[in-house]
Structure 1
Amino acid sequence: MSDHVAVRMREAIAANRNRTATRIREGEGWVTRTYAEFGERLRRVAQGLLDAGVETGGRVGIFLGNRPEWSEIDFGAGTVRAVPVPIYATSTPEQIRYIAQDSGLSVMFVGVQSEAERVLAVADELPALERIVIVKPYPGMPERLEAYEDFIANPATDAVDARLADATGDDLASIIYTSGTTGDPKGVMLQHKALVAQSEVLDKFFDIRPEDHSLCFLPLSHALERAWTTVVLMHGCMNTYVENARTVAEQMVLAKPTMLVSVPKLYETVYTTAHGKASGSPVKREIFAWALRIGRHNQYAYRAGRRPNAWLRAQLKLADKLVLGSVRDALGGPKTVLACGGAPLRIEIEEFFASIGLPILQGYGLTEASPLVTFNAPADFKEGTVGKVLPGGELRIGDLGEILYRGPNVMQGYWNNPEATKDTIDEEGWLRTGDVGYVDTEGFLTITDRLKDIIVTLGGKNVAPQPIEGLILADPLFEHAVILGDNRPYVTLLVKPSLPHVEALAAKLHWPGTSVDWMSSNELLEEMKRRVAELTAKLPTQDQPKDTKVLHDEFTMDNGLLTPTLKVRRREVEKRFKEIVDEMYARYEQRKR
């Protein structure tokens, strides 16, 4: 069997011609395409690329939000052995120019007018870029833009099949540029055989059937959603595309996916919302806590390999009716796969979802590993960990606790950057992940922090910020928490409050004014400091923040404070709010005097 994704996709299309492959919400309804239609369109993309003169190994840019066309372009390019280069939809013209120049893009696919305008702003500096194709044309657009439907107007010829006939698993499936915090991004070269190897491994642990369907809302430009979408479509499942991630809560209810791969932020939001709704009265809080206890005890029984007793089963029916069922409905109902990656998930959130009957299986990876390194499986998992190493791969803990990985899905290297490749993959093939963690006696991996995020204070104390931030974020009043203190005498804290919880607190404590007044009030600051002190009281002294400052700016991908997987960019936060941080340290030193 071939280890090339495009060949595997052709087999999936042939086996599932009449099943729905792609779906997207347009207005009040769904636009769907069968596997036969999807296959025809991706072959037309392949023909269009041949007509455009794209050679084997030629690079093709994909600069659009999550839409079925994204996958048509991705697999169409793979069919003629071209190399897709995803670009995040939030990218600036400068970022686009760098990636297009570095990779040598000859064709660029864009989604809408705003994306087209950003490409056009730097197009004159990209002599290799010959074609710019737009999925959603707009009135009065420049002649240089070509409509997608025109680009795919010609049916595929035998030349498409001839090009694919020579495909091997060693072909590049993609070059994905990492959004590093320092220096220019690096192009990660991923091979087809790596993506196929991951899919085959998952088949040994998960029962993914064509009847299943997934919600695609993380950016397809990110390795996690890209690899998962490949798995979904190679298994003949339906993939529902969410173009605007802000609508994911609404679309989960409408789409009712049986499979969902997400980052912690989505699960944190569900957790916080559910607890917020239950906090309205003492009675509601008691019923909510009781329902979670019943759900948890039923889970304990199942995990122990036995059926819960009759009393627990009867109580669970009532708990489902009163509480648990509505939370599951908010996620679109039961799931055959519910996974989390991109960042560690707090243990209380993991326990919460298990209690409502939707256990989350955490995994760990990075773009340079295509991206899967470890994962929990339905029959082999441990809460609080990111699972066991991918079969066929190896883990080792290196200097300073860094996690090293070697396996069949490690990148070929960084595009045009052999020095960076050498720094990241040693002579024995070990990939330096940059993450810190440990493997327990049962083989489960726990991530403790990013190596570059470890704070070293002026006194030489090492502080891992993520566990401290996790403790603080267990309180729903805090939306974001960022521990700082590298090369400083001690650690401090920047927090972004959750507006709905601030409003609830203001109503409870009868604060005067409006939400604008409350967010900048001394009362809120003192309340947050008090809670931080309580939450961190049992930590070592060097891990306890000596001062706290409230931030009012939203954390978004657009303003650069969040990554595409919704992790906080610590260095960017520290740089953006340098004056506030400097003032916080100066004020604390004055108080000490």
Structure 2
Amino acid sequence: MAPRPSYQLQATDHLARQFRATVERGGRRVATRVKVDGVWQEQSFAELDRQVRRVAAALVAAGVARGDRVAILGNNWPQWTCIDLACCTIGAVSVPIYPSSTTDQVRHILRDSGSRIIFVENQKLAARAREAAADEDLLDTVVGFSAAEGLLGLEDFAATATASADRDALDALDAQVEQRLAAASPDDLLTLVYTSGTTGAPKGVMLQHKAFTAQTVGITDGFHPAPDDHSLCFLPLSHAFERGWTFFVLAHGCATSYVPNPKTVAEMLVEVRPTMMMSVPKLYEKVISTAREKVAGDPTRERILDWALRVGGQCQRAYRKGRTPALYWRAQLPLVDKLVLSSIREAMGGNKSYLGCGGAPLRREVEEFFSAVGLLMIQGYGMTEAAPLMAYNPPRAFKFGTCGPVTPGGELAIGEGGEILYRGPNLMTGYWKDPEATAAAIDENGWLHTGDAGYLDLDGYLVITDRLKDIIVTANGKNIAPQPIEAMLLADPLFEHAVVLGDNRPCLTLLVKPSLPHLAEVAEKRGISHTSPAELLENSELVDEVCQRVATLTEALPHHEQVRELRLLLEDFTLENGLLTPTLKVKRREVEKRFGEVIDDMYAKIAERRRGGSADK
């Protein structure tokens, strides 16, 4: 038997070659898993490689040249990764599009990128792509992940693109694929990832192959997955966060279970029992609120939960310092684990080798909660413009309340006004066809201006304070960071979303999207009847309850950071209505536009009180 090839991950590598090396090392290992019609379908690395080669050859046969853009519009399926790797192999540039994108957004990306071929998840998204392209004749080819009526499927595309070729022509086509890969460079453009930020039109972030391979090497300094580790892929692959993590998982020969419908992630966690996963804070906050919901209204069970978290927390804090917990706490741990902590771990799909979080601010209380139940949460920091990782907490040297030190190979600095600056091998080359925006983002010394405010502690660990563009400057000249205030409020499960306002205004106000089930519980306890959610939000007693909770949660804040007026919102914050980004961050400017009249009414009420001589409450 020939010896297995030795392979060392290289920071300056090419993703297609990195994938081929993984196949050589363990082609029989499971690479992808997805549940279709109740049945799990698995694909080995060798099978995935064969499919990638076939799709790559079909793209070449279809006339896709090096540097041509190929769009992908769909949720997370193994086909998504296959198409991505096929583009890598032949030097095409993949252009991910969020499945939640509107027709206008799809049109903008197709027009701006110049993509002439698009792969779509299903007929619905195919119709959206065709509608977006129709007026300007933007597309030549639409291919489905799977075949459907009126939609050519990926397998058929791979077969029909080469159906008319004889053996010699097929060999020549395969040879062309290999020639393209042989000529490939780590400096080749891999992808255009259109930003999904909270403001402005999406810009195409240009990321090279080496941006992701350098990141994989940097993460490997802290993460060392075993061959039997497996990941759950449910954040959008259209976002650099999940995509970069998936490249890392592939490079290490681990399996990935895909979740096409992110709304099913809770049940998939329990069924799949992944040992690795990355998520945004919203999921973890939901786990905590669910745990507290289950004991709400039962003082005995509430005390048991608090006791369990206190015992688990004391033990874990001792372990973090390299000490054995005091006997008093250690003796209670088996019981509280059996009663409470193990059930929370089970809701997360069992123990985890790596549990990561990014994409939005994470409260330290969330880190401490999961630590107490025996799950170490690793927080990182990044942006699409850095593919995306700029800092992360190494599992063996983590520090809660921080995003960790800079990713190996990169540099962090703090600029004017506390702005976080970054440069490194995973930095974008710029924004597609937008040199002015590129110059505004990356200065002459190669530093990316992140727009986030923060500082480096004495150990070089990054602490985020807020988005600079979100800083509120009141009419009195007070600078206020809204996110820490919002995080305080969101610790209460009654609040689903909270948006603090006050820029160029005399004081702070608040828009609250309450959790309707929680609000209904409060109403039931108070004997308040209602026939619709709108009645709940209009009930003065319930509004007073919300106001009291806000006041209690924020009572320790300085006077100028106190909320003077609030309104409850009935409308959900979703991807579809444009109030959330794909990583579930609130689009603050969109909220301000959508609820402009409500906001104006709040400030009118404040002005009326002041004219009447009453103090703000």
TM-score, structure 2 as length reference: 0.93
Rounded to whole Å, the distance in 1 between the matches of 2:177 and 2:285 is 46
Alignment-derived partner of residue 579 in structure 1: 597
Secondary structure of the corresponding residue to residue 546 of structure 1: strand
Describe how 1:405-554 pairs up with structure 2 within 5 A.
405-514=422-531, 516=533, 517-554=535-572
Secondary structure of the corresponding residue to residue 132 of structure 1: strand
Out of 557, 568, 572, the position equivalent to 2:575 is 557
The residue type equivalent to 2:99 in the other structure is: A
Cα deviation for residue 112 of structure 1 reads 0.8
Q: Describe the superposition over 1:226-276 as per-residue Cα deviations: whole angstroms up to 9, x where unpaired.
A: 100111111111111111111100111011000010000000000100011
Alignment-derived partner of residue 116 in structure 1: 126
Out of 55, 58, 64, the position equivalent to 2:65 is 55
Out of 232, 237, 245, the position equivalent to 1:228 is 245
Contact 1:113-1:137 within 8 A present in 2 as well: no
Bigger shift: residues 331-340 or 103-112: 103-112
Out of 333, 338, 346, the position equivalent to 1:329 is 346
Contact 2:199-2:587 within 8 A present in 1 as well: no
Alignment-derived partner of residue 261 in structure 1: 278
Out of 44, 48, 53, the position equivalent to 1:38 is 48
Rounded to whole Å, the distance in 2 between the matches of 1:248 and 1:183 is 30
Secondary structure of the corresponding residue to residue 584 of structure 2: coil
Secondary structure of the corresponding residue to residue 75 of structure 2: coil
Bigger shift: residues 531-540 or 169-178: 531-540
Secondary structure of the corresponding residue to residue 221 of structure 1: coil
Rounded to whole Å, the distance in 1 between the matches of 2:146 and 2:540 is 49
Rounded to whole Å, the distance in 1 between the matches of 2:543 and 2:356 is 36
Out of 124, 136, 158, the position equivalent to 2:146 is 136
Alignment-derived partner of residue 101 in structure 2: 91
Rounded to whole Å, the distance in 1 between the matches of 2:135 and 2:357 is 40
Alignment-derived partner of residue 19 in structure 1: 29
The residue type equivalent to 1:449 in the other structure is: D
The gaps in structure 1 that reach 5 residues or longer are none
The residue type equivalent to 1:437 in the other structure is: G
Rounded to whole Å, the distance in 2 between the matches of 1:128 and 1:277 is 52
Q: Describe the superposition over 1:275-295 as per-residue Cα deviations: whole angstroms up to 9, x where unpaired.
A: 111224111011111111111
Distance 1:294 1:515, change over 3 A: farther
Describe how 1:143-542 pairs up with structure 2 within 5 A.
145-153=151-159, 154=162, 157-309=174-326, 312-514=329-531, 516=533, 517-542=535-560
Secondary structure of the corresponding residue to residue 121 of structure 1: helix
Distance 1:135 1:126, change over 3 A: farther
Rounded to whole Å, the distance in 2 between the matches of 1:552 and 1:440 is 41
Distance 1:580 1:501, change over 3 A: same
Alignment-derived partner of residue 589 in structure 1: 607
Distance 1:182 1:334, change over 3 A: closer
Rounded to whole Å, the distance in 1 between the matches of 2:200 and 2:566 is 30
Cα deviation for residue 18 of structure 1 reads 1.1
Bigger shift: residues 10-19 or 554-563: 10-19
Q: Describe the superposition over 1:34-88 as per-residue Cα deviations: whole angstroms up to 9, x where unpaired.
A: 1111111111111111011111111100011110000000011100011100000
Contact 2:199-2:589 within 8 A present in 1 as well: no
Alignment-derived partner of residue 103 in structure 1: 113
Secondary structure of the corresponding residue to residue 389 of structure 1: coil
Rounded to whole Å, the distance in 1 between the matches of 2:461 and 2:85 is 34
Secondary structure of the corresponding residue to residue 54 of structure 1: coil
Contact 1:131-1:146 within 8 A present in 2 as well: no
Cα deviation for residue 316 of structure 1 reads 1.4
Rounded to whole Å, the distance in 2 between the matches of 1:308 and 1:485 is 46
The residue type equivalent to 1:89 in the other structure is: P
Distance 1:348 1:514, change over 3 A: farther
Secondary structure of the corresponding residue to residue 122 of structure 1: helix
Distance 1:39 1:321, change over 3 A: same
Rounded to whole Å, the distance in 2 between the matches of 1:275 and 1:40 is 48
Secondary structure of the corresponding residue to residue 530 of structure 2: coil
Alignment-derived partner of residue 5 in structure 2: none
Secondary structure of the corresponding residue to residue 433 of structure 1: strand
Contact 2:473-2:479 within 8 A present in 1 as well: yes
Cα deviation for residue 386 of structure 1 reads 0.9
Rounded to whole Å, the distance in 2 between the matches of 1:524 and 1:389 is 46
Secondary structure of the corresponding residue to residue 494 of structure 1: strand
Rounded to whole Å, the distance in 2 between the matches of 1:523 and 1:515 is 16
Cα deviation for residue 196 of structure 1 reads 0.6
RMSD: 1.4
Contact 1:465-1:483 within 8 A present in 2 as well: yes
Rounded to whole Å, the distance in 1 between the matches of 2:588 and 2:243 is 25
Rounded to whole Å, the distance in 2 between the matches of 1:128 and 1:13 is 36
Rounded to whole Å, the distance in 2 between the matches of 1:514 and 1:386 is 46
Contact 1:100-1:126 within 8 A present in 2 as well: no
Secondary structure of the corresponding residue to residue 209 of structure 1: coil
Cα deviation for residue 504 of structure 1 reads 2.0
TM-score, structure 1 as length reference: 0.97
Bigger shift: residues 424-433 or 114-123: 114-123
Contact 1:97-1:126 within 8 A present in 2 as well: no
